[in-house]
Amino acid sequence: MSKIEQEISKRRTFAVIAHPDAGKTTLTEKLLLFGGAIQVAGAVKSNKIKKSTTSDFMEIEKQRGISVATSVMGFEYADCQVNILDTPGHKDFAEDTYRTLTAVDSVIVVIDVAKGVEEQTEKLVEVCRMRDTPIIVFVNKMDRVGKDAFDLLDEIESKLKLSVCPLSWPIGEGSDFKGVYNLYEHKLNLFAPGTKYGNVLEFEDPNSPELEKHIGERPAKELRVGLETITSVYPEFDREYYLEGQLSPVFFGSAVNNFGVKEMLDCFVEIAPPPHAYQTEERLVKPDEEKFSGFVFKIHANMDPRHRDRIAFLRICSGTFQRNTNYLHVRKGQKMKFSNPTTFMASKKEVVDEAYPGDIVGLYDAGNFKIGDTLTEGEILHYKGIPSFSPELFQYIENADPMKSKQLAKGIEQLMDEGVAQLFIRNHNGRKIIGTVGQLQFEVLQHRLENEYGAKCRYEPIQLFKACWITSDNKAKLDEFTRKKTSFMAKDKENRDVYLAETPWMLDSARQDFPEIQFHFKSDF
């Protein structure tokens, strides 16, 4: 086995996705705790406690107790290199999460036992299903009163359209929660709040009368009935089906109490897929190829506010990435080398000399990168499927401090490259319009412009239904369209034509009047 094959087989790169408040960031943190990557878990919600969770490092995240940017964290566990991408759960930042899902090999979905499957989870799982991404489900907050475990499994199957296979089973719930039985390893894990793992006992046979001694008569009876039902109703675990995205293992636990997390992590490093092959526009790229290639799926400005730095997050797809080596930036057609590429532990960064497929590397960026850019050793490759979506909310953005117009222009340009929102400039009057998928993005933009660039902006309302990119093979028709609709035309930051429809009726009639023109609602047309 060559060195690169060894390194690839050790890599586990995955995203944690969930609806806000399901406990996703807490779970991420507990995984880091078991990996020895952090010593103390932060209190996600409490602002009185100065420690915030490791993965929420932006000022606005600390104030609100939610994740608004995808964080990347790596640690070693059981001879594997585990790379976690913690994603925002809030629907206003779904686009960041969609892009992150292009950079991972598998996913852990967190579900709150009391709330069950929520709308945002459905949307994100749909994206995973479209790509056949392997999914593990973690049912969280078992120490609180919630839905019955079987009802929850039914809900996961019907709403998320996943075929499930429980690998651990809860004993009681809420105040009666006694622990879980680990079907994957045949162990009984008794709930002991305040301990690192609970009390784990080898327990091959749940029918043994010993069970009553540990958990009492009624819970023992309920557990046996539950396990019997599982074996008769649900399929046995089959790793091949899981890797094809056809079967999803389910674990139960309580992340805030460190409970049930280790069972899932132990099973995860054993069964989860190593880095997969990527389809580019030109060909299929396999991870064990000799030559390096990778793509940028995220750009983050001002990771360190003192240094005004931008970092491009690069997913390595093939070969070995090496520091201080010339690589081709395919879109720009120029060679670049990176003297201090970094790996992440949330906001802590370490310079890395080499990295392998599955790793996420941060490249300091002076404005050279856009989301979707490819780096290679010289071959022309274009990784695909990293879209921007047509925004749903729009506002004019105006300068609130004439002395700071330069800072505002720079801030808007950098934050748009990062994919926080989209910018459209009207053709007939040059006014700038910000488009987002959620209201919260406007606040984040305003907050970051002020805190990171010293620029103040204000918003003004605008009546818009949709912004869509337009193209046509018929240049004359395209010119006629842009001339007739001049007051509804704009350019995006790539200088592409965008039609701004004020109402659904306007969009429909434009499509009927100009059948030669294609209207696109995603930017990767």
The per-residue pLDDT for 125 is 87
Of residues 48 and 144, the one with the higher pLDDT is 144
Q: Count Cα neighbours of 481 within 13 Å in the Cβ-side half-sphere.
A: 28
First to last CA, the chain: 41
* pLDDT average, residue stretch 410-424: 83
The per-residue pLDDT for 200 is 66
The owner of tokens 């240049």 is 475
522: which DSSP letter? B
CA dihedral 266, 270, 273, 274 (to 10 degrees): 100
CA–CA gap between residue 152 and residue 155 (Å, rounded) = 5
Return the domain boundaries, the chain: 9-271, 278-376, 393-520
**pLDDT-derived band of residue 295, with 50, 70 and 90 as boundaries?**
very high
**pLDDT-derived band of residue 268, with 50, 70 and 90 as boundaries?**
very high
The domain defined by 9-271 carries CATH number 3.40.50.300: yes
Given a cut of 60, is residue 302 above it in pLDDT? no
Q: Specify the 3-state DSSP secondary structure of 499.
A: strand
Contact 111, 151 (CB under 8 A): no
408: tokens are 């505002």
Architecture label for domain 393-520: 2-Layer Sandwich (3.30)
Of residues 451 and 488, the one with the higher pLDDT is 488
Q: In Å, how far from its chain's centre is CA 219?
A: 38
E strands present in 220-302 = 248-252, 278-279, 284-285, 293-301
Q: Is 92 exposed, middle or buried (0-12, 13-18, 19+ CB in 10 A)?
A: buried
308: which DSSP letter? T
pTM of the complete model: 0.77
Q: In Å, how far from its chain's centre is CA 449?
A: 24
Q: State the fold for domain 278-376.
A: Rossmann fold (3.40.50)
- The tens digit of pLDDT for each residue in 311-355 reads 888 999 999 999 999 999 999 999 999 988 887 654 456 788 888
The sign of the CA dihedral 100, 102, 107, 111 is positive
Which residues partner with 422 through β-bridges? 435
**pLDDT-derived band of residue 41, with 50, 70 and 90 as boundaries?**
very low
Tell me if domain 278-376 and domain 393-520 are identical in fold: no
- The tens digit of pLDDT for each residue in 160-218 reads 999 999 999 988 877 788 888 888 888 887 777 666 655 666 677 778 887 787 888 88
Long-range residue pairs from 208-214, CB within 8 A, at least 24 positions apart, any chain:
214/188, 214/190
CA–CA gap between residue 348 and residue 337 (Å, rounded) = 22
Q: Specify the 3-state DSSP secondary structure of 508.
A: helix
* pLDDT average, residue stretch 244-256: 91
The per-residue pLDDT for 334 is 92
CA–CA gap between residue 67 and residue 27 (Å, rounded) = 13
Q: Count Cα neighbours of 193 within 13 Å in the Cβ-side half-sphere.
A: 12
Of 46-50, 357-361, 423-427, 444-448, the range with the lowest mean pLDDT is 46-50
463: which DSSP letter? -
CA dihedral 279, 280, 283, 285 (to 10 degrees): -60
Given a cut of 90, is residue 57 above it in pLDDT? no
The per-residue pLDDT for 46 is 33
Contact 358, 316 (CB under 8 A): yes
The one-letter amino acid at 486: T
DSSP symbols for 21-89: TSSHHHHHHHHHHHTTS-SS---SS-SSSSPPPTT--SHHHHHHTS--S-EEEEEEETTEEEEEEE---
- The tens digit of pLDDT for each residue in 208-247 reads 887 787 888 888 888 889 989 998 899 999 999 999 999 9
E strands present in 319-377 = 321-322, 327-329, 334-336, 342-345, 348-351, 354-355, 360-365, 374-376
Q: Which residues contact 192 (CB under 8 A, 6 or more apart)?
A: 198, 199
CA–CA gap between residue 525 and residue 520 (Å, rounded) = 7
**pLDDT-derived band of residue 60, with 50, 70 and 90 as boundaries?**
very low
DSSP symbols for 139-184: EE-TTS----HHHHHHHHHHHS---EEESEEEES-GGG--EEEETT
Of residues 432 and 177, the one with the higher pLDDT is 432
